[in-house]
Amino acid sequence: MLSGGLDSSTCLAIARHEGFECYCLSFDYGQRHRIELDAAARIAKSLGAREQRVAHIDLRIFGKSALTDEIEVPKGREAQEMNRGIPVTYVPARNAIFLSFALAYSEVLEASDVFIGVNAIDYSGYPDCRPEFVHAFETMGNLATKAGVEGRTRLQIHMPLISMSKADIVRNAVELGVDLSLTHSCYDPDALGRSCGECDSCILRKKGFAEAGVHDPLVYRDTVLQP
Amino acid sequence: MLSGGLDSSTCLAIARHEGFECYCLSFDYGQRHRIELDAAARIAKSLGAREQRVAHIDLRIFGKSALTDEIEVPKGREAQEMNRGIPVTYVPARNAIFLSFALAYSEVLEASDVFIGVNAIDYSGYPDCRPEFVHAFETMGNLATKAGVEGRTRLQIHMPLISMSKADIVRNAVELGVDLSLTHSCYDPDALGRSCGECDSCILRKKGFAEAGVHDPLVYRDTVLQP
């Protein structure tokens, strides 16, 4: 599963490094911006994935998330305070839906390994990013499919980033040659595609780069370009 | 979850009978025919549902099912032989995907009860129609959502038809006043909307009506209309 963000891109690089042939699945789910999908396509290509498919699903019919709805994306202090509970950028049952599509895709490919870049350390408080959720999904997935029933393949959901800090993820990405200028993290980029630098996702990303001592090649809205 | 077929329509009637306010979710998943969606809308209205929504999802990108792909729907003896294994009309991980959407919908509604018309007796051999699959989904669903994490609601997936034969379902439908002429079961209706009478779904339906001693009001392709 590849969104084109820092986490899923690093996850793909790890899967490739472990010798997997990778088939990437991205989602067009009525996001407020499509930059994410362009990033996913570029990342898949640059990391030598065999294929990248985009599943179109309309989560807007359910509304109620700042990522798909007309709710404003919280910034700065508000974004940080949000981290105490479940943030408004949470999309209802999003990872359950995404993993279900990955399950269908893996069944068609007769693949038994699904990689997801969820992270339990520097994460955003989404219930569906927790390892217990992913384990329960794996159990369900093995009961849902032909291959599981016939015992041909046993689905395994890999979460290589689960116990990494954002700084660890940045370091891994650098080590595995991820072109970080291609990744995209911002929830609320401007019309030029520049990251806001202030949303929850930008704050976590900047913190990770700073702690890892790595220069973030992204252009933020407040980036002062050197002459 | 309401497809407009005999099972899901009866399931809705049972939920209504138990006193639930019902919000129906139907799926436009690139079926070969749309008659199913018209049936769902009519059934929802006739049984007094509060709302019916249609989620658009494209399972065709995964292919490999006679219901969404260019594979021929098996008929007659072939359809019956199919029942020994998992049939080609199986759509990869379909119920996992559908239930994930129901999970999102229930979270937005702050509802804790999801009804699904799966059936383990006269069923079609689909792995994702078995009770152990649905139980595993419920466990996963309670870990996936805000409400589950905050302990506000506990998701319960009801399967009122799980141990009914098709004849039991027909009898229940009649008892609860389901207008059976509105339901639709055929996998391969003709351009006039007439059921083929020969696919797996038609065979099971006809058997159920016959065993229940109830007249099936549907028009089949070979129905001889009395003058």
Model confidence pLDDT, tens digit, residues B2-51? 999 999 999 999 999 999 999 999 998 776 567 788 889 999 999 999 99
Put simply, the answer to whether A90 touches B57 (Cβ < 8 Å) is no
A222 burial level (CB within 10 Å; 0-12, 13-18, 19+):
exposed
Residue pair A92/B147 in contact by the 8 Å Cβ criterion: no
Lowest mean pLDDT among A24-28, A83-87, B181-185: A83-87
Give residue B147's pLDDT: 65
Q: How many CB pairs under 8 A join A and B?
A: 141
Question: What distance in Å separates the CA atoms of residue A64 and residue B30, rounded to the nearest whole number?
Answer: 26
Nearest-neighbour CA in chain A from B131: distance (Å): 10
Question: What distance in Å separates the CA atoms of residue A45 and residue A16, rounded to the nearest whole number?
Answer: 12
Q: Which residue has the tokens 């993820």?
A: A169
Q: Residues B120-140: pLDDT tens digits? A: 876 566 788 889 999 999 999
Q: If we measure between CA atoms, which residue out of A96, A103, A138, A124 comes closest to residue B145?
A: A96
Identify the H or E element spanning B173. Answer: helix B166-175
Q: If we measure between CA atoms, which residue out of B170, B174, B197, B176 comes closest to residue B185?
A: B197
Is the minimum CB–CB distance between A144 and chain B shorter than 8 Å? Answer: yes
CB interface of A with B, residues 112-141, below 8 Å: 127-128, 130, 132-133, 136-137, 139-141
Nearest-neighbour CA in chain A from B126: distance (Å): 8
For range A63-90, the mean pLDDT: 53
pLDDT band at A127 (very low <50, low <70, confident <90, very high): confident
Question: What distance in Å separates the CA atoms of residue A150 and residue A160, rounded to the nearest whole number?
Answer: 28
Residue pair B50/B20 in contact by the 8 Å Cβ criterion: no
Question: What distance in Å separates the CA atoms of residue A100 and residue B141, rounded to the nearest whole number?
Answer: 12
Is the minimum CB–CB distance between A103 and chain B shorter than 8 Å? Answer: yes
Q: List residues bridging with A156 in a β-sheet.
A: A113
Chain A contact set for B56 (CB, 8 A): 57-58
Question: What distance in Å separates the CA atoms of residue B45 and residue B4, rounded to the nearest whole number?
Answer: 11
Q: If we measure between CA atoms, which residue out of A113, A119, A185, A184 comes closest to residue A153?
A: A113
The amino acid sitting at B179 is D
Put simply, the answer to whether A53 touches B61 (Cβ < 8 Å) is yes
Report yes or no for ipTM above 0.90: no
Dihedral class, residue B151 (left if φ above 0, else alpha if ψ from -120 to 50, else beta): left
- B-interface mutation test, from A146, A153, A155, A157, most B Cβ less than 10 A away: A146
CB interface of B with A, residues 65-94, below 8 Å: 86, 90-94
- What CATH code would you report for B6-212? 3.40.50.620
Angle at A42 between CA B55 and CA A73, to 5 degrees: 55
Nearest CA in chain B to A105: B62
pLDDT band at A109 (very low <50, low <70, confident <90, very high): confident
- A-interface mutation test, from B128, B129, B132, B134, most A Cβ less than 10 A away: B128
pTM of the predicted structure, to 2 decimals: 0.85
Burial A47-58 (b: 16+ CB within 10 A, else e): bebeebeebebb
Question: What distance in Å separates the CA atoms of residue B10 and residue B183, rounded to the nearest whole number?
Answer: 9
| Domain residue ranges of chain B, discontinuous segments joined by + | 6-212
Residue pair A13/A172 in contact by the 8 Å Cβ criterion: yes
